[in-house]
Structure 1
Amino acid sequence: MADIRVKFVSQKISKVRFRPAQGIYSQGSDVFASGNWDDESGRVCLWQIPLAQRDNGDMEGGDTATDREPTQLCETSHRGDVTDMEFLGTEAVAVSSSLGTVTVYRHRGLKSLEEASHWSGIHSGLGHVSCACTCVATQGEDLLVSAGEDGRINVLNISHRTPIRTIKKANSCTINGVRFLKQLEVITVDSSGQLKIFDLRQNSEEPSKTFTVSGEQTPLQSIARHPTQQHVVATGGHDGVLSIWDLRQEKFPVTLLEAHSAPMWEVKFHPTNPEHLFTCSEDGSVWHWDSSAVTSLVTGTGAGSGGGSLFAQPPGGAQQPQITSPWLGLESGRSKMEISTLLPNQSLPINTLDIDGETLICGSDEEAIYTIDIPGIR
């Protein structure tokens, strides 16, 4: 049973992001950032979740959870609504704005947030009027890209005051999400229901690949890349549908799964256990998708696998298992996938979520941050 805590914060939360864990032996991150929207002033905050502690009293049984309500460490003002945020390493966070700007904030020992880099006027519409920068993605500690309502992609480096490259005609409609696939390759989702891959090394404004949702042009609102298999991508649609894509060969989604009853604002693979995926929606719900039971059907292992029908036959006749992803075998294993709701019915939208270790955080228009412990998925 998931343990749910709620922190009321007097601001509508638009984004939450865990700071990357420090060190290879880390048990996960306990620090995250949040941003707000629809307020008189924008804010970016850093929070810490107290770690569970061992009960040293007379009770038997070992560990008991203490009060793990997030504690605010520091905050800073931000121009406009926070539309997206991603950490640059462990010491800085990049934040996009409804005013068409991108700002990088650095923290000093988690005690303060200070502006380190700022790019204004990099997203604009007709008449050079600023429009929203809708999304941002980061790579390492100094490289990031932004995209916006103007269909433009900017490549930014924290040591340069202006974009080091701009793809002005990346899209004719709003880009709603962007992620790095490789060091210099990004993928976007847009309001026309397309995925586009751009190779930043090429001197071209045309995408290297384009993928499309079949049927009506339903906007795609969110995107997540599988943490270890870069050809596997999940997207969330304005219609609440979860789509799974294989970027190696398919022009259309491998699987379409009816999910939420309203726009799916974010989708996230678990960073170290990607058989688990999480989604949140305008309808106020947060779902946990568990594909681990599909694994045996995909790899041809375990009972009912069909005697190795999914095994490749290399030269020499030696049989080797075909390495693939359970997310690409959902058609055959649909009945095996477990889907559970993590929050009681909410009347207001859940705008954002992130997952690290056994802890999921999400933010809502209820002016609250939810912290949910999910045992067994570290």
Structure 2
Amino acid sequence: MCKSYETKMAECIHPFVKFVSRKVNKIRWQQSQKQALECADTFVTGSWDDEDNKICLWYLGTQRSPQYDEGGGLEPTLKCEMTHSGDVTGLEFIEPDVIVASSSTGSVTMYKHHTASQTLGIQYKWQSLHRHGNHSCPCTCLAVRDKTIVTSGEDGRLVILNAEQKSPHRIIENADSSTINNIVFLKHTEVITVNSSGQLKTFDLRSNSDAPSQTLSVSGELTSLHCVDKHPGQPHIVATGSHDGVLGIWDLRQEASPVSLLEAHNGPMWEVKFHKTNSNHLFTCSEDGAVWHWDASLVGSSHMVQTQFTGTGAGSGGANFSLNPSFQFGGSENVNKWLCSDNKKMEINSLIDDNILPVNSVDIESQTLICGTDSESLITIRLPTLR
């Protein structure tokens, strides 16, 4: 008898925990070379809540192996590291060998990976980009697209940088009256932000106006939104995570509230990530110590699906889903699965068992999920082939 996809998921997920002696606040895969067929095998981490925080570059040697290696094949190896001033609040690769990090000091630093010597060096540092009056305040997030870096912070400013210029290209002084918690590029010249007042705002970087081109919010709610990610193929679809652990799915073409709100984690949701090449899959992490895999691959299909929550992670006991245990999906195949009215019937898997301390950051590349935690550890998870 053939095993179901859900059974294969449960049997194949074996998290590998690597203790690194510092809390990890951000974790990101290296950009894959555009011409390369292989998946990335390098990632970067940034720490927080330490006197001397670190930017660390890691190598995952078996990244291209299709099988999980119980002998330790998922254990990352440290390539190099460098001290970072302040907590790392944002972290991205701008090129395969260039990393940009934002800081609680209000600055942004660009690091160069010197492959010959396997060292990290500072290429440039933009000081005091965010401030209240004459005092610096934390830069809370950043986003990159080609050579453009956009940062924001507790001051509600948007600062647009060019990686090849020392002075900011543009500053939107009053982008928001609240703290901006996360930012992503929707298009080459358009970004979306989420703030502590529960709002999404889009900004056209070509516009002469500092006002957002669109503002959306949950009706009647003032719950802070902590994270946002865009659908990799349809940028008008975005997912958000809130302070009360709710996953929101939004259609930016509609001047209205979210398409759906899914009660999820037992604590603030710190990051949400769509799979880069398989948009039916989404991953979230939370203050409650849980990492969840949201599988929408069968939403909207004509198959009879048994909705179930698998895994025994910290979030599995307290989640509140209004789910029908058996549902006949219908509807047009042309409708994106995340916008389907039946998207609450998707399958949700808890990927980490018995984890208590917060998981702050996740990123997915091919079949490998990487997680940064407050338990001073990295967690790598090899997933089975995603349907």
Aligned-residue RMSD, C-alpha:
2.0
Q: Which moved more, 1:223-232 or 1:25-34?
A: 25-34
Per-residue deviation at 1:112? 1.1
**Deviation per residue, 1:315-374 (Å, 9 max, x gap):** xxxxxx6x3310001x32422x10010001212111111000100000111000000000
Instruction: Say if 2:329 and 2:342, in contact at 8 Å, map to a contact too.
Output: no
Alignment of 1:27 onto 2:38:
yes
CA 1:160/1:79 → structure 2, altered by over 3 Å: closer, same or farther?
same
CA 1:178/1:162 → structure 2, altered by over 3 Å: closer, same or farther?
same
Alignment of 1:75 onto 2:86:
no
Residue aligning to 1:347: 356
**Deviation per residue, 1:260-297 (Å, 9 max, x gap):** 01000000000001100000000000000000010426
- The 5-angstrom pairing of residues 187-202 of structure 1 reads 187-202=192-207
Q: Distance in 2 between matches of 1:358 and 1:28?
A: 10
Alignment of 1:40 onto 2:51:
yes
Q: Aligned match of 2:342 in 326, 332, 354?
A: 332
Q: Which moved more, 1:354-363 or 1:105-114?
A: 105-114
Residue aligning to 1:267: 272
Per-residue deviation at 1:205? 1.1
Residue aligning to 1:316: none
Per-residue deviation at 1:118? 1.1
CA 1:192/1:113 → structure 2, altered by over 3 Å: closer, same or farther?
same
Q: Distance in 2 between matches of 1:33 and 1:200?
A: 28
Identity in percent: 49
Instruction: Say if 1:156 and 1:165, in contact at 8 Å, map to a contact too.
Output: yes
Alignment of 1:97 onto 2:108:
no
Instruction: Say if 2:39 and 2:63, in contact at 8 Å, map to a contact too.
Output: no
Alignment of 1:114 onto 2:104:
no
TM-score under structure 2 length normalisation: 0.87
Q: Which moved more, 1:188-197 or 1:287-296?
A: 287-296
Q: Distance in 1 between matches of 2:356 and 2:300?
A: 35
- The 5-angstrom pairing of residues 1-378 of structure 1 reads 1-51=12-62, 65=69, 66-67=71-72, 68-109=74-115, 111-125=118-132, 127-140=133-146, 142-296=147-301, 310=332, 323-329=334-340, 331-335=341-345, 337-377=346-386
Per-residue deviation at 1:63? 6.0
Per-residue deviation at 1:72? 0.3
Instruction: Say if 2:100 and 2:108, in contact at 8 Å, map to a contact too.
Output: yes
Q: Distance in 2 between matches of 1:208 and 1:196?
A: 7
Residue aligning to 1:59: none
Q: Distance in 1 between matches of 2:268 and 2:175?
A: 24
**Deviation per residue, 1:121-161 (Å, 9 max, x gap):** 11001x32100000000001x21100000000000001211
TM-score under structure 1 length normalisation: 0.89
Counterpart AA for 2:342: S
Counterpart AA for 2:190: E
**Deviation per residue, 1:85-104 (Å, 9 max, x gap):** 01102121110000000011
Q: Distance in 2 between matches of 1:365 and 1:71?
A: 19
**Deviation per residue, 1:179-231 (Å, 9 max, x gap):** 11111111000000000000011111100000111222000000001111101
State the SS of the aligned residue for 2:31: coil
Per-residue deviation at 1:50? 1.4
Instruction: Say if 1:86 and 1:95, in contact at 8 Å, map to a contact too.
Output: yes
CA 1:52/1:241 → structure 2, altered by over 3 Å: closer, same or farther?
closer
Counterpart AA for 1:332: D
State the SS of the aligned residue for 1:236: strand
Counterpart AA for 2:265: H
Counterpart AA for 2:140: T
Q: Which moved more, 1:362-371 or 1:207-216?
A: 207-216
**Deviation per residue, 1:43-99 (Å, 9 max, x gap):** 100000111688xxxxxxx96725220000000111100001011021211100000
Q: Distance in 1 between matches of 2:245 and 2:149?
A: 28
Q: Distance in 1 between matches of 2:122 and 2:140?
A: 20
State the SS of the aligned residue for 1:155: strand
